[in-house]
Copies of this chain bind each other. A is one copy, B any other.
Amino acid sequence: MLALRTLGKTCRRSPATLWRRTAAQSAGQRMDIRGIYPPIATPFTEKEEVDYLKLHDNLQKYAKIPFRGLVVQGSNGEYPYLTAEERVEVVRRVRQALPREKLVMAGSGCESTMATVQMTEQMARAGADAVLVVTPFYYRGRMDSKALIHHYTQVADSSPVPVVLYSVPANTGLDLPVDAVAALSQHPNIVGLKDSGGDITRIALIIHKTSSEDFQVLAGSAGFLLAAYSVGAVGGVCALANILGPQVCQLEELYVSGQWEAAKALQYRLIEPNAAVTRKFGVAALKQAMDWFGYHGGVCRAPLRPLSESEVKMLRQDFSSNGWL
């Protein structure tokens, strides 16, 4: 069964909550989500259909890396390009292929509260251990704390599994406000936050403001992983871990064991490759680099395009100049 590392926390129950509790939660403890997670890519065939065989291959390799688990349907999984059925099916396949002790954190966010509630339920049924819920954002001008607290409370109230908040302003144009995170951290079914914005002051403040709640913050990128650890983050969901998984886990290990100088030296070398496969060139670069490192990357769904030749060169340079290629 699922090995839960539990945190010593007494859950304050909100009387109105309807969520079902896992064994751990009933005992008043939050799911421990500490560790490193790759937000996995979704391989496609040349016809842009989900390629489950290649996915399975990748999972076999990831199973041997000391990840805490996998994030399925994060931004790097091209989730906005999958149908609802595909989103659920990918989660199911990942859960089946993965050793039980690895957490499957599934991205179940949709624009409407109603759709997010349903998708969350479906993913839990498909085997997700936790869900990662991106902020809705199309009407970002109206997505203030009030709206977001309402949204996440509805989702967490009804979710069969623990909820992790997800703030990714590069894609959504929206930062989940600190006061909203602080309020939501009191919900017994909300266990943490993945913050991909990289504003380290904000991350530290969130940890400060939620310190009485055993609320866990994951860095959303390998670029600021060490800095995030230094202010109290407990792990990371790092696109780069799809490619340099052992190295990202090694950074965690160096931090945990207090080897700061070695950690710093390693952190430095991860910044440019990480930027290259995220904000600089995006998912197509992630997949291109996966191909170089023995994983199945391949094509993206349209409208995402393959990299140009000169982009491929720059991408390679970002890895080679840091000693990875």
Contact = CB atoms under 8 A, between A and B. Distances in A.
A150 interface: yes
A303 B227 contact: no
A64 interface: no
Interface stretch (A94-102, A139-147, A186-194): A139-147
A150 B302 contact: yes
A112 B305 CA distance: 12
A224 B207 contact: no
A208 B301 contact: no
A306 to B, nearest CB: 10
B81 A112 contact: yes
Contact of A143 (B75, B204, B279, B303): B303
Interface of A: 48, 75, 80-83, 111-115, 136, 138-143, 146-148, 150-151, 154, 170-171, 173, 198-201, 204-205, 207-208, 211, 221, 223-224, 226-232, 260, 264, 267-269, 271-272, 275, 279, 281-284, 301-305
A303 B137 CA distance: 10
Give the 4 A-B residue pairs with the shortest CB-CB distance, closest first. Answer: A230-B230, A208-B268, A113-B302, A151-B303
Contacts of A208: 268-269, 271
A112 to B, nearest CB: 4
A71 to B, nearest CB: 16
Nearest to A279: B141
8 contacts: A81-B114, A142-B281, A201-B221, A226-B230, A227-B228, A227-B230, A230-B260, A231-B267
A253 B158 CA distance: 48
Contacts of A226: 204, 230-231
A47 to B, nearest CB: 10
A147 B260 CA distance: 37
B232 A139 contact: no
